Structure 1
C-alpha cells in the first residue's frame, strides 16, 4: 500500500510499504480522509519532536521512518479477535492516543498524560496518511451516518480545542483572548462560542486569517502591529482583562500578550507546541495570582466533539481549504502549508482514494 513516511527534517516520502495486518483487539481501517496537523508541520520543519529517532518508542518499539497522519476518518474493513464494538462497514474515526494503560496517569483515566505517550501517526505504530491502518478498538469511535468522512476528519483538532477549554475551567459568560488563528486557534474560537463565551478577542496579524477568525465567531480581531492589544482588551473588559487566554502561536509575542491581557487570577492555557524557549518574569504571576497551565491533546472529549460537529454547535464552515491526493502530499500538502501562501490555508485534507477528489 502507499503511505507517507517521515525520514528526517524536510524529508517525507510517499512509498509502497506492507499493508498492516489486523491483530487481537484491533480493527483495520481503510482511510478516507486525513488532515495535516500543526504537529506534522513541526516535525517536517524542525523535527524530530514526537517521532522516535535512534531510540525505539517504548510502546511501538520502532524508530523513524514512521507513517504520518493522526487526523483521519475511514471504514472498518476487518476486525481482530476479541473486537466486540465494531463490524465490517462501520464508519469510524481514530482517537490517535498510544498509551500504556498501566502508569499512574493511565490508571487515573488521564491517558493523554501517559508516561510513555505516543501518537498514532507519529510514534511508529502506523498512521492515517496511508491506504490502511490498524488500531485498538478502545480508541476507535463510530461516526453518525449523516456525518461526512470529511467532517469526521476534523474531530481530532476540534477535540484539542475542546479539551483546552475544559482544562481552563471555562464557564458560560467568561471572556477570552485567543492568540493566533491557525487550525487550533480557529477551532478554539468555535469551541469557545459553543461553550457560551461572552466575548472572544483574537490576536492575528493582517492576513486572510483575520477573516477566518471572524467567520469562526471572533467578536474582535486585533493586529499586534497596529494596536496595543492588552490595552484594547482592558478597554473592552471594564479595565480588568479577560478570564482566560489561549496561546496557540508558539511564539514569545503570543505568550507575552496573553499574560498581559489576563485579569487578576486569570488563566493562560498553552496549547501550542514550542520549538524555542520562552522567557518571562514570574512576578507577572506572583503580583496578580495569574496561572499558566499546559494542555496536551484530549481525553474523553471525542464523543462530545462528534456530537457538537454533527448537530452544528461547532460548524467548521470553510475549515477545509484544500484537498489533495496522497501521492501529492509532499508538494501540494506540506509545501502549501509551509510556502508563501501558507496563511490562506487552514486545514488540508489528504486522501489515498482518487475517486473522492
Structure 2
C-alpha cells in the first residue's frame, strides 16, 4: 500500500436503525486483485432508507453495525499486487455486487442471481459511506473526464432501467409506461429514451418528479393524485395500450395500473418491491391478453453500456441531484431523503469533500 495513504479513514456507521455515527476505522487492506477507491460521491438509495428506517429488506436483516451506501464513484488510490485492469488515478464508477463467477448463474451471464454475491450495504456487507473502499478490480469501470462523479454514481440506478429494457425486450419505436418516478424510475425513463422508445409515459404522486421525468425524455407525465393512469394511457394510445410497462414504485396499485395500461400481447417488468408478498392480479386479463411478465433483480452486464449512454450527453442525469451533504452529515442526508419526497430527487453524499 502507498505510504502516502492514511492508515485510518472516516466511515458513517449505522450501529442500529435510525442512528448514524461517524467513526475512524482502519483503511481497508487490499487483496491481490483488489483496488482501493477514494470515494468521491455516493447516492442515497431507497434500500439505504429501508435499512435505516426498518433494519431489514425481506430476508436481509441488519443484525450488527453496518455501513450503508452502494451507488458510488471515485478515484483509484492504490492497486493490489496482481491488478491488471486498473491503475492509480483512474476515475471510476463502482459496480457494487461482487459475484463468485463460478456458479451456473454467473457462468450463464446472469450473475445478478449469484447466491454468493457480496453486495455493498446489503447485510452483513459494509457499503460506501466511507472515504476509501476496497473492491475487486473487475467491479470498477473507467469514466471519461467530462462525466462527473455524481453522474457516474447514478450508473447504478441507471443499470436497473437498462436491465429492465433488456429483460422486457424493449425495441426502438415502442411505447412505454413507467409507474413511479423515484430515482430508479427516473433513470428507467432515461434508459427507455436511450433504447429509442418512441413515446414514454410516466406516473407519480409528486409533481417535482414528474417534471424531472419530462427533462429526462418522457413525453407525458400523469399525476395519479388527479388522474386515473390506466385510463389516460389508453386515451394517449388511441385505446390500444402501451407495448411495455415498467412498475418501479413497489406499489400494488401501480402494479395493477401497469397491467391495465398494456396492449394485448404487451410486456410488464416488475422492478419495484412492494412491502407485502401477496398482491391480487387480474389473471384472466393476463391470460386472455397473453401478457409477458418479467421479474427484475438488480442488473447484469450493464455498466459499460450505462457509462456510454451517460457520456454521450443523450441523458443529463445531473438534473436528479438536488441535495448534497458531506460524510459527517450522512444521517442528515438520510433524513432529508425520507422526509422531503416532494422536493428532493437524489440526495448525494461526498466522503472526501
TM-score of the two chains, using structure 2 as the length reference: 0.92
Aligned match of 1:151: 151
Aligned match of 1:350: 349
Aligned partners of 2:37, 2:338: CA distance in 1, in Å?
A: 29
Please list, as runs of the form range in 1=range in 2, the aligned pairs for 1:225-244 lying within 5 A after superposition: 225-244=225-244
Q: Alpha-carbon deviation of 1:276?
A: 1.8
Q: Which runs of 5+ in 1 are unaligned?
A: 55-62
What is the DSSP-based 3-state SS (H/G/I as helix, E as strand, rest coil) of the residue aligned with 1:343? coil
How far does the alpha carbon of each residue in 1:144-195 deviate from its partner, in whole angstroms, 9 at most, with x for none? Answer: 1222222212111111111111111000111011101110111111121221
Kept in 1, the 8 Å contact 2:200–2:218? The answer is: yes
What is the DSSP-based 3-state SS (H/G/I as helix, E as strand, rest coil) of the residue aligned with 2:163? helix
Kept in 1, the 8 Å contact 2:158–2:187? The answer is: yes
Aligned partners of 1:311, 1:143: CA distance in 2, in Å?
A: 12
Aligned match of 1:211: 211
Q: Alpha-carbon deviation of 1:317?
A: 3.8
Q: Alpha-carbon deviation of 1:125?
A: 3.8
Structure 1 residues 292 and 133, CA gap change in structure 2 (3 angstroms): same
Q: Alpha-carbon deviation of 1:117?
A: 2.9
Aligned match of 2:314: 313
Please list, as runs of the form range in 1=range in 2, the aligned pairs for 1:26-41 lying within 5 A after superposition: 26-41=34-49
TM-score of the two chains, using structure 1 as the length reference: 0.91
More displaced, 4-13 or 190-199? Answer: 4-13
Aligned match of 2:3: none
Aligned match of 1:71: 71
Kept in 1, the 8 Å contact 2:207–2:223? The answer is: no
Please list, as runs of the form range in 1=range in 2, the aligned pairs for 1:87-236 lying within 5 A after superposition: 87-236=87-236
Q: Alpha-carbon deviation of 1:133?
A: 0.8
How far does the alpha carbon of each residue in 1:23-62 deviate from its partner, in whole angstroms, 9 at most, with x for none? Answer: 12000111111111111112222331278548xxxxxxxx
What is the DSSP-based 3-state SS (H/G/I as helix, E as strand, rest coil) of the residue aligned with 2:133? strand
Q: Alpha-carbon deviation of 1:13?
A: 2.9
Q: After TM superposition, which residue ranges in structure 1, 4 or more long, deviate above 4 angstroms?
A: 50-54
Aligned partners of 2:88, 2:122: CA distance in 1, in Å?
A: 26
Aligned match of 2:52: 44
Kept in 2, the 8 Å contact 1:53–1:64? The answer is: no
Aligned partners of 2:319, 2:39: CA distance in 1, in Å?
A: 22
RMSD: 1.8
Kept in 1, the 8 Å contact 2:94–2:153? The answer is: no
Kept in 2, the 8 Å contact 1:99–1:114? The answer is: yes
How far does the alpha carbon of each residue in 1:189-218 deviate from its partner, in whole angstroms, 9 at most, with x for none? Answer: 112122111111111124322211222222
Q: Alpha-carbon deviation of 1:241?
A: 0.5
What is the DSSP-based 3-state SS (H/G/I as helix, E as strand, rest coil) of the residue aligned with 1:43? helix
Structure 1 residues 287 and 51, CA gap change in structure 2 (3 angstroms): closer
